[in-house]
Chain A
Amino acid sequence: MNAVPIRRRLWRAFHRLGSPPYVYRLAGRLSPWLGVTSCVLLAVGAFWGLVLAPPDYLQGDSFRIIYIHVPSAYLSMGGYVLMAVAAAIGYIWRMKLAHGLAVCVAPLGAWFTALALVTGGIWGKPTWGTYWEWGDARLMFELLLLFLYIGYMVLRMSFDDREKADRVSALLAVVGVVNVPIIHYSVEWWTTLHQGPTLIREGGPSITMDMLIPLLIMLAGFSLFFGWLLCKRLQGEILRRESRTRWVRTLAAEAGA
């Protein structure tokens, strides 16, 4: 088969992602699938992790919060990278939908960061004897990540002009991305309280299969859940941005009728 048509088809698919009505419909079509799959995965993963998996030989049952904590922490960082990449695409190619995506990721990422901090504190009390340890680098930089999300949202809100808000806040999102590798490597650079990496490390994951499989299921479930919320938010954001266009008015008229 000739390679050119495939490339052309890919380009057409990429260009379509710049079209608000297309992305609106795409998000609408994806979201029920993401919603159902994520709920099933979360239910299976939670049951497996909280009930079936064996207790930890050192931490007993308290380790089970890992099934909430690790996926939240992973989404807090992954969300930031997604936001920064989308904002950079929006800035470089002046793609408004990419800015719209970045706007939608910010509050979700901030909530998952907050969740990671809270579950980390709850986990820290029985294992380290404290909810919060100022001396731990990973805790500090995760907190700074939350402040970066908040700064991004506040900066956006202080502009009256949406296009200017898009472009200026995109620069802040890109600058802040330096924080993400620092969080990831913080447990190797400064060894204080937080345990070292479990999944992404040299020599493979350091966790037994019985505990690893539910964790992976929860990671997938959380990611799809994030995607589901993102689709919903993106639809709303597109409608807000395109509220003056004919296709949105037609849509509203159909919904009202």
Chain B
Amino acid sequence: MIEHTLENEKQEMRQAFCQCLLDLAADEERLVLLDADLMSAMGTKPFQEAYPERTVDCGIQEANMIGTAVGLSLTGKIPFAHTFASFMSRRALDQIFISGAYSKANVKLIGSDPGITAKTNGGTHMSFEDMGIMRGIPTMTVLEATDITMLKWIMGWMARTYGMQYMRLVRKQCVKIYRDGTDFQIGKAVQVMNQFDAQATIIASGVCVAESIKAARTLSDEGIGVRILDMFTWKPLDNQAVIDAAKQTGAIVTAENHNVNTGLGAAVSEAVASSCPVPIEFIGVHDRFGQVGDQDYLAQQYGMTAKDIVEAVRKVVDRKRLYLHR
């Protein structure tokens, strides 16, 4: 089980992102950074100052940025390309699909401001579908960094692993979950909590992990124990952890900052349906667009708060009892 602190990170995610790039670039001269006029927003100007010859700010042209990154990778570079998650997935999809994945290139795709964390950028910039879009691309690895500890691990893995990989991450403040230096594994969910006699498993990702931990505290007071899995690795999904959760706890709640119909809820449902059908409740966005608002407001709007997760767990546990007594 994992220690969790639930304190705000001391750094913003973007500061950690830039520092991590600097650290990796010091040891890996093939690493290059591309952006489409969001370097200031992403806080990567210090990288540009340290490595001007390895920084390519393409300007406002996401499609050409991806093609350029692919071309760079064909000459042996290790390109990290950043834009907002919405533009990365929706605007540059065909380039990522064909120039990138279909032709087996090596580009690290970084999508920031996922879902409700786009806040006042609102509906045009709010990606509730980026992970689903990426999940539909053969061979693509699809990840969501939960906190800075995990972010650092994922970036190191990306830099040393050939292939097309997508990571979404919060750009600004984030909650710290993991002890510094924690090791992760692609395709392996993190068991954040496993209470005695867990009656349901919350399979969460991104900002919903912290909310799930808060929810577990409330549920514990009511005598409902839960297991929490941080499914940061959407593809490959940890099927075994999902199946174990279904078999051992008999009920599942998925919790994501994303559209349920193409997202984690869908992915978990596929795994559960094909092995051990159990009741599932889905926390996340249900076929809606984004809008402006602060993060707390948006979390309430889309039913992503700890309170919503508590209710979903109660509901799924009730459904399990009905199911068992049928």
- A and B associate in one complex: no
Residues of A within 8 A of B (CB): none
Q: Please list the residues of chain B having a beta carbon within 8 angstroms of any beta carbon in chain A.
A: none
